């Protein structure tokens, strides 16, 4: 029986986590994005936008302030 799409995604995610945990070449790498096959990737431009991040942070604070 073929694994479901969710199982394949989970397997890829677990592979990336384990690979990055034991790979000495990324021991001092911080704040980077890795694809599901443990390859460093450049995040989308939106993820690099400091002003957008600040706006999202403020909106999130407003939303959760009611809880």
Q: Which residue has the higher pLDDT, 29 or 33?
A: 29
> pLDDT tens-digit profile of 7-21?
665 666 666 677 777
- pLDDT, residue 64, reads 95
Helices (H), 1-67: 5-22, 50-64
Query: Cα-Cα-Cα-Cα dihedral of 48, 52, 58, 60, to 10°?
Result: -70
Q: Find out whether 33 and 42 touch, Cβ atoms under 8 Å.
A: yes
């Amino acid at each position: 029986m073929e694994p479901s799409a969710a199982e394949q995604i989970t397997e890829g995610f677990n592979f990336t986590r384990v690979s990055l945990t034991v790979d000495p070449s990324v021991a001092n790498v911080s704040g980077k994005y890795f694809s599901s096959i443990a390859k460093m990737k450049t995040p989308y431009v939106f993820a690099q936008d400091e002003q957008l991040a600040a706006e999202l942070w403020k909106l999130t604070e407003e939303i959760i302030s009611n809880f």
